[in-house]
């Protein structure tokens, strides 16, 4: 049923928008770091259990120096800058601890395919257009095909692209990033032929004669994209421009003040791009980088390189203090690691219960080597076996000093639910995508046992077992808007959670895994003033209206980084 905003909330939004517009005209010349600012007459949701609600707060030097009821106004100095919130709803800045902003915004990819395509012919015109528009490019790089469309199309996917171009390499990433579609020229450049073996965590799909058919699954596709990107002129500048001109403004527009880059390709020097932006004082969010573990790389070499990149300066908005690795693939590719076999052998493998990018033993070794340095692990785990093995690795590493988390957690065996609390492992879930909603759960019944699809992404069960829960977007796989994620989290019965828990998952609990819970995540005295002003009180409106929420202002350390 189509959802509409109530008249009350619409009028409130218009009133707040008018206030924000007026304030924009006055604030441009203000040095927010040097003045004292009083925000009063507000509806402030602090996420501080000791003082959940407030009406006013005073900010000085980027920090909250007072917060509470109307009496706080009397504590402001006579020359304080005063902002009447006119009853607007204020809350801590949003943390999104799993996203891919550099990849989402990079200008290295030249085109995207129609996400509503139903057959391969729908892709051909877009690809032809991209080839014509990029005649001078060494590679044609695109994004957004649906793997199932290619698997259900007669003939080899490679041949479809060969007919479009036989002399220019083409590589197109699947919309989930878990496979890549290439032509013969790309295979030739990558030296992939009938004698090639599958890389760790990847599959080179072949036809009946053993010839690669143009589909590279999981890490086999990642390695192809590495080759293509390395041949792209202005690669780093394209990534930089995308971050500065698109991604960072989008974060601020959506009220996001802290993020984790969930796959920092250090061999592509992604960390240096982030460092350049930080050095130029262009960061408008706190950023933790998750350095990527390359599955095919030598472990000793990789550990040494990663240790050298560790950076945890408390004064900097940018920290390089996390490691990202994949335990497994994804369900729709039948590469998520499952305890039992898939119902169909979609990829024609000799084993049919998924794959490991990094197996349990290697995970244990990496955690043992890098946790003492200060790294926290961010582990992609979707299948029930992948989740189980990742928890085993964290338990085996044994120090308990890390703030590790498993992300996606789509299938979790009930026996593993209590282990999150026992091992102090955070469950990081993404529920902004439509596929995560209950009406779509049984679309995978043809792949896995239907009983497993009754509680996909079991966020309620995890909380009932006292796990720490965070919610994130996985942008650009799912929508960046955190209020879609919050609405979905509170409406996905039987795995729905309370609005208060959803907000905690996007604020203080997420701040914990970024190791900044003493600095931000709640609005209280002594913490940095990372906060947002919204057009409606998301704790009181009907749950089906939460996704209509608009961010009116976003503040980082008391300084506005976005005003609508």
The arithmetic mean of pLDDT across residues 71-88, rounded, is: 95
pLDDT for 130 equals 94
Q: Is the pLDDT of residue 517 over 70?
A: yes
Phi/psi for 131 (5° steps) reads -60, -45
Query: Rounded CA gap, 552 and 536, in Å?
Result: 10
Could you tell me if residue 541 is left (phi over 0), alpha (psi between -120 and 50 degrees) or otherwise beta?
A: beta
Q: Is the pLDDT of residue 200 over 60?
A: yes
* Distant-in-sequence, close-in-space partners of 104: CB < 8 Å, separation ≥ 6: 242, 247, 475, 476
Beta bridge partners of 380: 326, 407
Percent of the chain with pLDDT over 90: 85
pLDDT for 557 equals 97
The arithmetic mean of pLDDT across residues 61-77, rounded, is: 96
pLDDT confidence band for 31 (50 / 70 / 90): confident
Beta carbons of 535 and 90 less than 8 angstroms apart: no
Q: Is the pLDDT of residue 1 over 90?
A: no
Q: Is the pLDDT of residue 12 over 60?
A: no
Q: Is the pLDDT of residue 561 over 80?
A: yes
DSSP secondary structure string for all residues of 423-492: TTPEEEE---SGGGSGGGGGGGTTTS-GGGGGSSS-HHHHHHTT--EEE---TTSS---HHHHHHHHHHS
The CATH number of 109-230 is which of 3.10.310.70, 3.20.20.70, 3.40.50.300, 3.40.50.11390? 3.10.310.70
Measuring CA to CA, which residue among 93, 85, 91, 83 is closest to residue 15? 85
Handedness of CA 341, 345, 350, 355 (dihedral sign): negative
Beta carbons of 440 and 453 less than 8 angstroms apart: no
Beta carbons of 37 and 81 less than 8 angstroms apart: yes
Q: What is the pLDDT of residues 252-285, one digit of tens each?
A: 999 999 999 999 999 999 999 999 999 999 999 9
Phi/psi for 256 (5° steps) reads -95, 115
pLDDT for 23 equals 34
Q: Is the pLDDT of residue 15 over 90?
A: no
Q: Is the pLDDT of residue 11 over 90?
A: no
pLDDT confidence band for 10 (50 / 70 / 90): very low
- Architecture of the domain defined by 7-93+542-563: Roll (2.30)
Q: What is the pLDDT of residues 368-427, one digit of tens each?
A: 999 999 999 999 999 999 999 999 999 999 777 899 999 999 999 999 999 999 999 999
How many whole angstroms from its chain centre is CA 397? 26
Bond before 486 cis per omega within 30 degrees = no
Q: What is the pLDDT of residues 112-146, one digit of tens each?
A: 998 888 899 999 999 999 999 998 899 999 999 99
pLDDT for 13 equals 41
Average pLDDT, the chain: 92
pLDDT confidence band for 4 (50 / 70 / 90): very low
Measuring CA to CA, which residue among 407, 363, 362 is closest to residue 262? 407
Q: Is the pLDDT of residue 217 over 80?
A: yes
Percent of the chain with pLDDT over 70: 95
* Distant-in-sequence, close-in-space partners of 430: CB < 8 Å, separation ≥ 6: 98, 407, 408, 436, 457, 471, 472, 473, 474, 477, 478, 485
H or E segment at 403? Answer: none
Chain position carrying tokens 């990496």: 366
Query: Rounded CA gap, 338 and 330, in Å?
Result: 10
Q: Is the pLDDT of residue 5 over 50?
A: no
Each domain of the chain, given as residue ranges in start order, spans 7-93+542-563, 96-101+235-521, 109-230
pLDDT for 6 equals 39
Alpha helices in 286-375 (DSSP H): 299-309, 360-370
Q: Please, what CATH class does the domain formed by 96-101+235-521 belong to? A: alpha beta
Q: Is 120 helix (H, G, I), strand (E, B) or coil?
A: coil
pLDDT confidence band for 29 (50 / 70 / 90): low
Q: Is 47 helix (H, G, I), strand (E, B) or coil?
A: coil
pLDDT for 173 equals 94
Q: What is the pLDDT of residues 433-485, one digit of tens each?
A: 988 999 999 999 999 999 999 999 999 999 999 999 999 999 988 899 999 99
Q: Residue 150: how many CA atoms within 13 Å on its side-chain side?
A: 28
Residue 403, number of CB atoms within 10 A of its CB: 20
Q: Is the pLDDT of residue 562 over 70?
A: yes
Q: Is the pLDDT of residue 9 over 80?
A: no
Q: What is the pLDDT of residues 289-335, one digit of tens each?
A: 999 999 999 999 999 999 999 999 999 999 999 999 999 999 999 99
The arithmetic mean of pLDDT across residues 489-500, rounded, is: 97
Q: Is the pLDDT of residue 8 over 90?
A: no
pLDDT confidence band for 25 (50 / 70 / 90): very low
The arithmetic mean of pLDDT across residues 63-85, rounded, is: 96
Question: Which tokens in the block code for residue 16?
Answer: 């707040």
């Amino acid at each position: 049923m189509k959802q509409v905003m109530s008249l009350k909330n619409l009028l409130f939004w218009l009133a707040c928008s008018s206030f924000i517009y007026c304030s924009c005209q006055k604030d441009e010349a203000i040095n927010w770091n040097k003045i004292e600012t009083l925000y009063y007459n507000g509806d402030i949701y602090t996420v501080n259990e000791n003082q959940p609600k407030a009406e006013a707060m005073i900010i000085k030097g980027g920090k909250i120096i007072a917060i509470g009821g109307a009496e706080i106004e009397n504590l402001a100095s006579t020359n304080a800058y005063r902002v009447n919130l006119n009853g607007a709803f204020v809350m801590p800045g949003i943390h999104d601890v799993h996203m891919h902003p550099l990849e989402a915004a990079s200008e290295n990819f030249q085109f995207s395919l129609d996400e509503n395509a139903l057959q391969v012919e729908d892709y051909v015109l877009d690809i032809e257009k991209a080839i014509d528009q990029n005649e001078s490019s060494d590679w044609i790089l695109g994004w957004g095909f649906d793997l199932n469309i290619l698997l259900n199309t007669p003939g080899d996917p490679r041949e479809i692209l060969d007919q479009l171009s036989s002399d220019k390499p083409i590589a197109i990433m699947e919309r989930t990033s878990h496979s890549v579609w290439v032509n013969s020229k790309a295979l030739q450049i990558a030296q992939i032929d009938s004698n090639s073996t599958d890389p760790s965590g990847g599959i080179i799909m072949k036809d009946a004669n053993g010839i690669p058919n143009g589909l590279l699954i999981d890490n086999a596709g990642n390695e192809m994209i590495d080759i293509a990107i390395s041949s792209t002129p202005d690669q780093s500048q394209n990534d930089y421009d995308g971050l500065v001109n698109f991604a960072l403004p989008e974060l601020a527009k959506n009220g996001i003040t802290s993020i984790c880059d969930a796959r920092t390709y250090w061999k592509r020097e992604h960390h240096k791009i982030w460092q350049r932006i930080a050095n130029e004082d262009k960061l408008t969010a706190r950023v933790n980088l998750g350095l990527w573990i390359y599955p095919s790389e030598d472990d000793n070499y990789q550990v040494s390189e990663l240790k050298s990149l560790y950076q945890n300066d408390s004064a900097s908005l940018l920290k390089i203090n996390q490691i990202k690795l994949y335990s497994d693939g994804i369900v729709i590719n039948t590469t998520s690691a499952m305890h039992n076999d898939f119902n169909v052998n979609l990829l024609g493998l000799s084993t049919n219960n998924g794959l490991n990018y990094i197996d349990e033993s290697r995970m244990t070794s990496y955690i043992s080597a890098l946790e003492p340095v200060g790294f926290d692990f961010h582990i992609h785990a979707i299948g029930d076996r992948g989740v189980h093995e990742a928890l085993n690795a964290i338990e085996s590493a044994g120090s308990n000093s890390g703030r590790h988390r498993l992300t996606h957690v789509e299938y979790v065996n009930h026996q593993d639910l209590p282990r999150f609390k026992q091992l102090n492992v955070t469950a990081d879930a993404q529920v902004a995508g439509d596929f995560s909603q209950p009406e779509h759960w049984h679309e995978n019944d043809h792949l896995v046992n239907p009983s497993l699809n009754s509680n996909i992404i079991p966020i309620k069960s995890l909380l009932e077992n006292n796990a720490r829960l965070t919610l994130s977007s996985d942008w650009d796989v799912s929508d960046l808007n955190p209020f879609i994620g919050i609405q979905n989290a509170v409406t996905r019965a039987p795995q729905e959670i309370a609005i208060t828990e959803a907000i905690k998952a996007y604020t203080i609990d997420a701040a914990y895994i970024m190791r900044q819970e003493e600095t931000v995540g709640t609005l209280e005295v002594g913490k940095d003033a990372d906060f947002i002003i919204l057009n409606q009180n998301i704790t009181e409106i009907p749950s089906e209206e939460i996704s209509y929420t608009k961010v009116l202002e976003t503040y980082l350390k008391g300084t506005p980084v976005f005003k609508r």
